[in-house]
Amino acid sequence: MSASFTPTPTPTHTHTNKPHSRWSDKQSKVLGDLAEEFSVSTSQLERLTTAFIDQMQAGLAGDQKSTDLAMIPTFVSGRPDGHERGSYLALDLGGTNLRVCLIALKGNNDFESHSKAFKVSDHLQEAHISELMDFIAISIRDFITSEHISSKIVEHPSGSETLELGFTFSFPVTQTAIDAGMLLRWTKGFSCPGAVGNDIVQLLQEALNRNEVNVHVAALVNDTVGTLLAHSYKHPNTFIGAIFGTGTNGAYVEDTRGIKTMTTPTTEEMIINIEWGNYDKDKRFLPVTIFDNKLDRESINPGVHVFEKMISGMYLGEITRNILLHLIDQRLLFDGTSSAKLNQHWSFETKYMSQIESDTSVTLIPIAQILEQDLGIYLNTQVDREIVKFVCQLVGKRAARLSAMATAAVIRRGLSVEGRLAGHGYPLKLSQGDHAIGSNVNKNGTNVHESTDSVVNQGLQPIHVGIDGSVFEHYPHFEERMVEGLTELLGPRTKDIVVLGIARDGSGVGAALAALIATKNVVYSR
């Protein structure tokens, strides 16, 4: 099974979760109940945020029994400020495409990138790891030859003939150095034997040597870390890098005094890969429904990454499909008739949700086209189409609100006494027992926050969050729904202080920056 997600961009418009007046009583009742189940209230978000922060702290303290968050120190200490220069190879593996890039960092917050994508077939996603690594090595060789890379190198790091490469590997890896890390588990449909428990850098370096490709793997980074570094290159002091795409995850800057798993840190800060897709895998806090449970049970990694399965592009379509079938079976949709296509696992892609949510026409004919052409549902009424759209809105909105929760939790951790943003005087300030900034403000009707202008006047940087991933970039209303959730959790001035920005090509540029950090800096190790 594999799924990538590239939905169509869409205009914004207002939307409603209220059942429609033309629906039958039974339709209104069942859809009203579904709306209830899929809505995540501010107080639920609050509870989830508090538990998330507790789990972050447990992970940082090395108490893996009390947390599902791996909180992996990445050995990337320090963030770029846009002055860095040099050319590096970058590799990006995390889904159905492998991308090989040459990144030229120009030193003025700008860069140039050439890249080539190679399809990772379904077979390779399950093949032995040595086969996957050989494929990667050969793809790198193909890129170097076809792009005449040697002639494009503008400034060769350390004058060596060997090309330095940064590897963005978007799976959970525990790192022991910036260029060493062991795969914890596969996610997003990959299951290659021979990789879990082994060092990914070593596996790739061996494949490069085996295939006589003169490239040195200098750094290994998660895509969230790459995104954070790449966004810092444009916006120094970026605090979070997050992915909302086929999968989801976040990385942020931690004060090393807060990382109890590291002894005698020599740097003040370090980027932590949270691996938040695995948050609350035992479902103690998350509002999981029978539709989520069904998806999880039938996935190739049941019982893990439950949070990711409620949020990311690989899974949203399948949750929606489960709900549609549930409605069909009660004769509340399509007059009780499904199609062979809709009955198939994973057949309802998240990109259809994106297209469906962007249809603002009255008759919803574009939705009819998807139902007919892509899903073989030829008999569908306008009410059917309204119901399909309504279901997509429930699933899409919940995903955005849960994404906001994780982001808000990381910002609160940053503002806490041990966190990296503490003492910087941000107006979004937590004091003990005062977790609920947003709800306190709402309840008391008082505004304890100041605007960005005053933040800037105080000499403070806004809190930048660099985000990559097709769900954030293209799913209708995702950003707006996320900002709504963030505001409920962090207060009414959040929009001015917390700046969400798209970090395009985070994986490529970030990997290049990591290679630069690794080859020019002393590498910090345990």
Contact stretch for ligand BGC (CB under 6 A) within 166-174, 231-239, 347-355, 403-411: 166-174
Report long-range pairs for 299-304 (Cβ below 8 Å, ≥24 apart).
Answer: 300/1, 300/189, 300/191, 301/185, 301/186, 301/187, 304/185, 304/187, 304/278
Report, in Å, the least distance between residue 244 CB and ligand BGC. 8
State the amino acid at position 112 in one-letter form: E
Query: Does 289 interact with ligand BGC (rule: CB under 6 A)?
Result: no
Task: Compute how many residues bind ligand BGC; rule: CB under 6 A.
Answer: 16
Residue type, 67: T
Q: Which one of residues 55, 139, 205, 249 is an interface residue with ligand BGC (CB under 6 A)? A: 249
In the complex, minimum distance from the CB of residue 170 to ligand BGC, in angstroms, rounded to a whole number: 4
Q: What minimum distance in Å lies between the beta carbon of 261 and ligand BGC? A: 18
Q: Does 167 bind ligand BGC (CB under 6 A)?
A: no
Which residue, judged by CB position, is nearest to ligand BGC in the bound state?
247
In the complex, minimum distance from the CB of residue 59 to ligand BGC, in angstroms, rounded to a whole number:
14
Nearer to ligand BGC, 164 or 308 (CB): 308
Tell me the C-alpha distance between 518 and 179, whole Å: 8
Q: Give the type of residue at 389.
A: K
Q: Does 355 bind ligand BGC (CB under 6 A)?
A: no
Closest separation between CB of residue 337 and ligand BGC, Å? 35
Answer for which of 51, 203, 243, 500 binds ligand BGC (CB under 6 A) is 243
Nearer residue to ligand BGC within complex by CB, 319 or 497: 319
Structure tokens at 482: 């996320």
Here the tokens at position 458 are 């105080």
Residues 81-110 that bind ligand BGC (CB under 6 A): 94
How far is it, in rounded angstroms, from Cα 320 to Cα 395? 7
Q: What is the DSSP letter of 374?
A: I
Burial 332-349, CB ≥16 within 10 A → b, else e: bbbeeebbeebeeebbbb
Secondary structure class of 160 (helix, strand, coil): coil
> How many beta carbons lie within 10 A of that of residue 358, not counting itself?
21
Closer of 290 and 300 to ligand BGC (Cβ): 300
- Shortest CB 259 distance to ligand BGC, Å: 19
Indicate which single residue of 19, 226, 258, 277 sits in contact with ligand BGC (rule: CB under 6 A).
277
**Binders of ligand BGC in range 181-240 (CB under 6 A):** 187-188, 222-224
C-beta separation of 41 from 384 below 8 A: no
29: how many CB neighbours lie within 10 A of its CB?
A: 13
Q: Choose between 134 and 308: whose C-beta lies nearer to ligand BGC.
A: 308
Which residue from 247, 317, 414, 419 is in contact with ligand BGC, where contact means CB under 6 A?
A: 247
In the complex with ligand BGC, the residue whose CB is nearer, 67 or 224, is 224
Q: Is 508 in the site for ligand BGC (CB under 6 A)?
A: no
Q: Which is nearer to ligand BGC, 292 or 308 (CB)?
A: 308
200 contacts 243 by C-beta, under 8 angstroms: no
What's the N-to-C CA distance of the chain in angstroms? 38
CB of 454 to ligand BGC, least distance (A): 35
In the bound state with ligand BGC, the residue whose beta carbon lies nearer, of 220 and 394, is: 220
Q: Which amino acid is at 300?
A: I
Question: Does residue 470 belong to the site contacting ligand BGC (CB under 6 A)?
Answer: no
Read out DSSP for 307-365? HHHHHSTTTHHHHHHHHHHHHHHTT-SGGG---TTTTSTT-S-HHHHHHHHH---SS-H
Region near ligand BGC per CB under 6 A, out of 105-113, 170-178, 367-375, 406-414? 170-178
Contacting residue, 292, 308, 357, 479, with ligand BGC by CB under 6 A: 308
Encode burial over 434-444: b for 16+ CB neighbours within 10 A, e otherwise.
ebbbbbebeee
Q: Is 316 in the site for ligand BGC (CB under 6 A)?
A: no
- What is the H or E stretch that residue 251 is in? strand 248-255
Binding status of residue 175 toward ligand BGC by CB under 6 A: no
Instruction: Check if the beta carbon of residue 297 is closer than 8 Å to that of residue 323.
Output: no
Residue with smaller CB distance to ligand BGC, 203 or 441: 203
Distance CA 466, CA 232 (A): 8
- Are 242 and 510 spatial neighbours (Cβ–Cβ below 8 Å)? no
The CA R_g of the chain, rounded to the nearest whole Å, is 23
Q: How far apart are CA 86 and CA 442, in angstroms?
A: 49
Residue 358 or 507: the one with the smaller Cβ distance to ligand BGC is 507
Q: Which of 68, 275, 359, 488 binds ligand BGC (CB under 6 A)?
A: 275
3 state DSSP class of 83: coil
- The residue type found at 333 is L
Listed ranges 53-61, 241-249, 424-432, 434-442: which one lies at the site for ligand BGC (CB under 6 A): 241-249
The DSSP symbol for 371 reads I
Least distance to ligand BGC, CB of residue 402, Å: 15
**Quick one: which of 7, 19, 86, 172 contacts ligand BGC (CB under 6 A)?**
172
The binding site for ligand BGC (CB under 6 A) comprises: 94, 170-172, 187-188, 222-224, 243, 247-249, 275, 277, 308
